[in-house]
Amino acid sequence: MTFKRLSEYFQKLEETSSRLKITEILAALFKESDRKEIDKICYLSLGRLLPAYEGLEFQMAEKMVIRAIAKAFGINSEEVQREYKKVGDLGKVGEEFKIKSSTLQFRSGQALRRSLSRAESRNSGQELKGQSKLWDMGPHFSPESEDSRGEVRVLGVYERLMEIAREGGTGSVERKVDKLAALIEDLDAASVRFIVRIPLGKLRLGFSDMTVLDALSWMGKGDKSLRTRLEDVYDVVADIGEIAKKVKESGLQGIAGIKPRVGTPILPALAQRLGTVEEMLEKMGTVAMEPKYDGTRLQLHKGKSGIRIFTRNLENVTHMFPDVVEALLTELRAKELILDSEGIGFDPKTGKFYPFQETIKRKRKHGIDETVTRIPLKCFVFDVLYKDGENLIEKPFSERRKILEKILFPSNKILILSPQIITDDPKKMREYHDEQIKKGLEGAMVKKINASYDPGRRGFTWVKFKQEETKKGGGLADTVDCVVMGITRGKGKRATFGVGSFLVGVRKGQEFVTVTNIGTGLSDDQFRELNERSRKLKVKAKPKGYLVDKNQEPDVWVEPKIVVEIQADNITKSPIHTAGLALRFPRLVNFRDDKSVEQISTVKEVASLYRMQFAQGE
């Protein structure tokens, strides 16, 4: 497939708001793709080059992309900047300049520049058909880069984008700019629009990995009936490209053999909420109880190829935790492992656990050694998913726990077996929960002892026990994880912050619905931080999938990237918020950088919290 053809599909997707229509367009795209390129097409359609957990980034700021556009068309960067201020989308700016470059106004200048380029290439003996002098194809050049008409194929574009992303070291900024300029020069106008957006992380086609799974099902069956089976595989191996390639090659038989493997993250199991311990015992039977730590979820991988550490949103953070890497090499009785754990920082002088706000400071790209010393970490390991070639996720939790107890040394300093009790006594459950609260923890996790590990699911195999049904006048039984959807500018003092209030929502399928507008309960620093975080994510038009009442529309829309933890006094029915429910007296607890937007609360979960209130209603 040529990249021009792929861009035609991208244009259709960009112009479509219907979730079903997007699925049908993607299914048609996947049918037209061949098995050598479908994985790359999946990644590109999601605005990346590899699975998200690989963490490959272009490291190209807007200024670099502006320079690349200017260089491609032989104009000044200031001219590109002026157009960008008018249009607000560098992709469309690049497309407009590409269209202009074919007019009489630009043709003579372009012809002269290309003539000089060809002359220089001939003189150096390095002329390549269809390639600008700016592009060094290097060892990754593929004969499949162009079709018989000289149009650049998807595989050729993908290879060139990979080289741009992998450029590093001295002079890499210039090389990235030159190579992107050359790629822009070789593509048609519509293709330029999308190729400019990809390095900026702003493809904006309005769908996620889950929609791709729907489309793969639609490709094979003409409906979404295969979605559950595909999602089961994705939960174990979170690589949408690999799954698409297997389905393209062999249908469902191709994915049947996909199992957990060291180095590839498994979607973490998630917890549900229930109102009382009696309900927990009724649904779960005899349970295991463990402390609920207010830390950062870390999935630990040890294998023949080395160590990898992933967060709950599948980000590879191995280099941020050198102390944990060392512990994985020395504190385990196994060669290959995948462990589930919670990392929590502690005061090296008193031994007391730090709150989440301090622990999350360990997640940083610079000053790592100093932070390791200042905020040492303990990883409380509570599950094992894979050991020395054996997939353990289907085994009952009681068996996994026995295996886990044999893996960890009692003398470990960092990798510590999470404490546990087994009980079916409501009184003991409450006592255990209260003990954890006194220790400064969030409460307890309640686990079904004969259940398998459920990747990515919120079933009743794990239940959070923070507090029981709320009493009248009390707070909710749990916080709500929301996404920031928009910003309303402030007045007076808040005008200096850039934020007066902000609109937040939760998930409803693949869409986002509103639950509250927050204008109080933030410190001055939090208002400033929100302004800084949202500044780079502001968009002119309401993003796809946002369902917002016209009376709730903010001054500025924000892409769904910022996850916040919200506490509220209670929940009421709401005619103006599109969730049908609203958080009353909401306040910001934390920015949750450890969670992705796919992991925020759902309408169903908010409704569950609503029902758990002691006194329902207004």
Catalytic residue positions, numbered: 292
Q: Which structure tokens are listed for 532?
A: 């800084």
Q: Rounded to whole angstroms, how far apart are CA atoms 543 and 426?
A: 47
Contact 121, 6 (CB under 8 A): no
Exposure string of 2-24, with b = 16+ CB inside 10 Å and e = fewer, is bbbbbbebbebbbebeebeebbb
Contact 295, 372 (CB under 8 A): no
Distances from the Cα of 586 to the Cαs of 482, 485, 508, 554, in angstroms? 11, 15, 20, 17
Written as one string, the DSSP assignment of 166-234 is H--STTHHHHHHHHHHHHHHHS-HHHHHHHHHHHHT-------HHHHHHHHHHHHHSSSTTHHHHHHHH
**In 338-484, which residue ranges form alpha helices assigned H by DSSP?**
356-359, 368-374, 397-407, 426-438
Strands 377-387 and 581-584: what pairing? unpaired
Strands 501-508 and 511-518: what pairing? antiparallel
Contact 391, 308 (CB under 8 A): no
Q: Which structure tokens are listed for 480?
A: 């709500």
Give residue for tokens 């085994």: 395
Contact 414, 379 (CB under 8 A): yes
Backbone φ and ψ of 367, nearest 5° = 65, 35
Q: Rounded to whole angstroms, how far apart are CA atoms 29 and 215?
A: 9
Nearest to 547 by CA among 579, 501, 518: 579
Q: What is the dihedral angle through the alpha carbons of 54, 58, 62, 63, rounded to the nearest 10 degrees? A: 150
Q: Which residue type does 21 have?
A: K
Q: Which structure tokens are listed for 478?
A: 């749990």
Q: Which residue type does 484 have?
A: V
* Cβ neighbourhood burial of 410 (10 Å; 0-12, 13-18, 19+): exposed
Q: What is the dihedral angle through the alpha carbons of 450, 452, 457, 458, rounded to the nearest 10 degrees? A: 10
Q: Which residue type does 542 have?
A: K
Q: Which residue type does 231 have?
A: E
Q: Rounded to whole angstroms, how far apart are CA atoms 508 and 127?
A: 54
SS3 content of the chain, % helix, strand, coil (to 5): 45, 20, 35
Backbone φ and ψ of 107, nearest 5° = -60, -45
Give the max Cα distance, the chain: 87
Task: Tell me the β-bridge partners of 602.
Answer: 507
Give the helix/strand (H/E) hosting 458: none
Give the DSSP letter of residue 477: S
